[in-house]
Structure 1
Amino acid sequence: MTAPSFPPTRRRCLLAAACLPWLPAAFAAGGESPRRDWPPQRQTPALELDRIEGSTWRLDSARGRPVLLNFWASWCEPCRAEMPALQQLARERGSDGLQLLAVNYRETEAAVRRFIATTGLDLPVLLDREGAAAKAFGIRIFPSTIGIDRRGRARFVVTGEFDWSSPQAARWVAEL
């Protein structure tokens, strides 16, 4: 069976549509901030996901602690590149109560375990097996990180790879 052949105009439209999700990250790389504030009228989605080690983690159980949810996938090179800075941030700010969780997007548990074994990832890993959590938070670009304050309210979304060891990141985390 051969692939369908689309007219040149339709092909260009399909290609443009396929590229749309990456445009915000491209602009962020050009100097604009990759952060956008969470809309005040939008509720923070409830979240309950399995941890890689088998227990369940619920966002409402983190009330009183600031939370960063980093949505990632092992096939995502920018995700892999930002992991060391996220791990360092978790080590430095964990004593302040910061909870930093790596939410894996739709990969098998075996694939996630292989990634952890080969990279030494030591952040708590949650499994978004069907992608429902990413969808609820409006995540379409990886990596993306959601900042949630001590009251359990989403405050911001950082889209694309970001230097979490930067002074800007420290200010954003302090807001939480």
Structure 2
Amino acid sequence: MADIKGNPVYLDSFRGNPVIIRFFVTDCKYCKADTSVFNEYFNKHKEDGLQILYITTTADHKLVSNFSDDLQIPFPVIIDQDAIVSKLYNIKIVPQTIILSPDHKIVSAILGGVGKAELEELVGIYFNKQQ
């Protein structure tokens, strides 16, 4: 896979770190509304190894790029053109968020919006152990 900037993205390269995978579409108001929560959480924990991937089946590169730029997304945004990743995680409705443990087991699948407290509860445990 590659992100919208052409950088290769390999999930295996994140092994040992928790990963948040967010499935979205560009015209989803809920997807836009809580992106700031993901941005803030990423900026808080990126030095701890947190990885976040935003994945969409929206095929229009310009729409996706504008979405990413407008919301100042600091992590990889990926167009899943053939819905390969979406099918792998059985994504039928967006927004949906998949939380992977550092050994990449699914910890949680959240349908709908996500708040700070929810991220802290599900992902924060991996950072609290390091302190």
TM-score range, shorter chain: 0.7 to 0.9
- In structure 2, the residue corresponding to 1:50 is in which secondary structure? coil
Residue deviations 1:74-111, cap 9 Å, x none?
Answer: 11111001100010010111122111111122322121
Residue deviations 1:29-56, cap 9 Å, x none?
Answer: xxxxxxxxxxxxxxxxxxxx21111122
Offset at residue 119 of structure 1 (A):
2.9
Offset at residue 175 of structure 1 (A):
4.2
Residue deviations 1:141-173, cap 9 Å, x none?
Answer: 21111111111222211111121x12x321200
Q: Is the 8 A contact 1:106 1:130 kept in 2?
A: no
Q: Is the 8 A contact 2:26 2:58 kept in 1?
A: no
The answer for the alignment partner of 1:160 in structure 2 is 112
- Larger-Rg structure: 1
Q: Is the 8 A contact 2:35 2:71 kept in 1?
A: no
- In structure 2, the residue corresponding to 1:70 is in which secondary structure? strand
The answer for the alignment partner of 1:173 in structure 2 is 123
The answer for the alignment partner of 1:105 in structure 2 is 57
Q: Is the 8 A contact 2:58 2:64 kept in 1?
A: no
The answer to whether 1:89 aligns with 2:44 is no
CA RMSD of aligned residues (A): 1.5
Taking the aligned partners of 2:56 and 2:14, their CA distance within structure 1 comes to: 19
Q: Is the 8 A contact 1:70 1:100 kept in 2?
A: yes
Taking the aligned partners of 2:18 and 2:78, their CA distance within structure 1 comes to: 17
Taking the aligned partners of 1:81 and 1:98, their CA distance within structure 2 comes to: 21
Select which of 5, 10, 14 maps to 1:62: 14
The answer for the alignment partner of 1:132 in structure 2 is 84
Structure 2: where are the runs of 5+ without partners?
127-131
The answer for the alignment partner of 1:76 in structure 2 is 28
Equivalenced residue count is 126
Structure 1: where are the runs of 5+ without partners?
1-48
The answer for the alignment partner of 1:40 in structure 2 is none
Taking the aligned partners of 2:12 and 2:75, their CA distance within structure 1 comes to: 19
Residue deviations 1:108-159, cap 9 Å, x none?
Answer: 2121112223332323212211212111101112111111111122221111
Offset at residue 70 of structure 1 (A):
0.6
